Amino acid sequence: MTAPTTDASVRQARQALREGDFAASVRLYARVLGRPPTGPDTEDADTLQARADYALALNGLARHTRAEVQLQHALEGQKSLLGPDHPATLTTMARLADNVGEQRRCAQAYELARTAVNHALRAFGADHPAALTARLSLGRALSLTRPYEAEPVVRAALRDIDRVLGPGHCDSWSARHLLAGILRTVGRLAEAETVAREVIAVRQRHQGAEHPDTLRAQADLALVLSAAGRTGQARALMQTVVDVSTAALGEEHPCTSRFRADREAVAG
C-alpha cells in the first residue's frame, strides 16, 4: 500500500484537522484509508499514523466508536512494526486512553494512560514528547473520577511541556484547558477563571475565534462563571458561543449540540 503521507488527500486532511474542520478531514481520510484491513496484513508506519490522526477527526465529530476502531488498529500495527516502546506507539496508546475516557470507560482509560506513561518513562524519561503526551492523558483519565489527584499530575505535565516544548505548543494549550476544567470541578473558581481566560486568548491567537477548541474554551469559561454565581455573564457568553458555533459549524454539528446543552445548564 502506498504511504498516504505522499497523497494530497492526506495532506489536506491534516490541514483540515488543524483548522478544526473535522467533517472535511474525515471525508478526506476516509477517501484514502477506508476500513482497517482484517487478518495478518500489516500496514506501513505512515498509514498507521494516518489512521491515528483520522481518529482525532472522528473524535472531533463525537464519533468515538469509529475512532476507537482506527486507534486500536493503529496501535496494534505500531506495536508489531515499530515496537511497544516506540514514541508513535505510545502516543497512539495515549490517544486511545483519551478516546475511551470520552466514552466514560474510566478504568480502561486510566490503565491505558498509566501503561503509556510507564513505558515512556522507562524508555525515554519524563521530558520526551511521547512521555509528556502520555502524562497529560493520565491527568485527563484521572480527572474523570479523581480530580484532586489529577490536578498535580496536570500541573506537573504543563510545567514540563512549557519548559521542553514551549507555551506555544498545542500540548500546552490542551494542558491549560484541562487544568481549567479540573479547577472548576474542585471548586477553585478564581484560578479556574484566570486559566480559562488564558486558554481562550492562546486558542484565539493560534487557532482563530471560530475554531471548535476556542469555542469549547469559551463554553468552559461560561461554566466557571455559572459555578461562581455570575449567571448573567455565563448566559450571555454561552449564547454567544452557540450563535458563533451555529454560524461557523452548523446547527447539527456535535459541538453546536454540546454548546446548546451547556447553555441549558447555565440557564437552569
pLDDT digits (tens, 9 = 90+) for 6-59: 578 899 999 999 999 999 999 999 988 877 777 656 789 999 999 999 999 999
Using DSSP's 3-state secondary structure scheme, residue 55 falls into helix
Rg (CA), the chain: 18
Tally of CB atoms within 10 A around 16: 19
User: Is 95 part of a structural domain of the chain?
Assistant: no
Rounded Cα distance between 46 and 39, Å, is: 19
Whole-number pLDDT of residue 137: 98
Report how many domains make up the chain: 3
Q: Average pLDDT for residues 58-64, to the nearest whole number?
A: 96
- End residue of a domain, out of 199, 232, 248: 199
Whole-number pLDDT of residue 7: 78
Tens-place pLDDT, residues 219-265: 999 999 999 999 999 999 999 999 999 999 999 999 999 999 999 99
**C-alpha cell, 250:** 452548523
Amino acid at 194: T
User: Is 100 part of a structural domain of the chain?
Assistant: no
191 and 225 in a common domain: no
Tens-place pLDDT, residues 160-207: 999 999 999 999 999 999 999 999 999 999 999 999 999 999 999 999
Whole-number pLDDT of residue 9: 85
Q: Average pLDDT for residues 129-151, to the nearest whole number?
A: 97
User: Is 89 part of a structural domain of the chain?
Assistant: no
> Does residue 79 register a pLDDT over 80?
yes
Q: Terminal CA-to-CA distance of the chain, rounded, Å?
A: 54
- Return the half-sphere exposure (C-beta side, CA atoms, 13 A cut-off) of residue 234: 21
195 and 227 in a common domain: no
Whole-number pLDDT of residue 39: 61
Rounded Cα distance between 101 and 89, Å, is: 18
Whole-number pLDDT of residue 217: 97
User: Is 33 part of a structural domain of the chain?
Assistant: yes
Amino acid at 184: R
For 103-143, the DSSP string reads: TT-HHHHHHHHHHHHHHHHHHT-TTSHHHHHHHHHHHHHHH
Range of the domain at 191: 106-199
195 and 153 in a common domain: yes
Rounded Cα distance between 95 and 255, Å, is: 20
Whole-number pLDDT of residue 8: 85
Give the CATH number for residue 148: 1.25.40.10
Between residues 42 and 139, which one has the greater pLDDT? Answer: 139
User: Is 92 part of a structural domain of the chain?
Assistant: no
- As to burial, measured by CB atoms within 10 angstroms (0-12 exposed, 13-18 middle, 19+ buried), residue 8 is exposed
- End residue of a domain, out of 146, 164, 199: 199
- End residue of a domain, out of 168, 199, 230: 199
Q: Output the CA angle 34-39-45, nearest 5 degrees.
A: 60
User: Is 264 part of a structural domain of the chain?
Assistant: yes
Rounded Cα distance between 66 and 52, Å, is: 11
65 and 31 in a common domain: yes
Whole-number pLDDT of residue 40: 53
71 and 29 in a common domain: yes
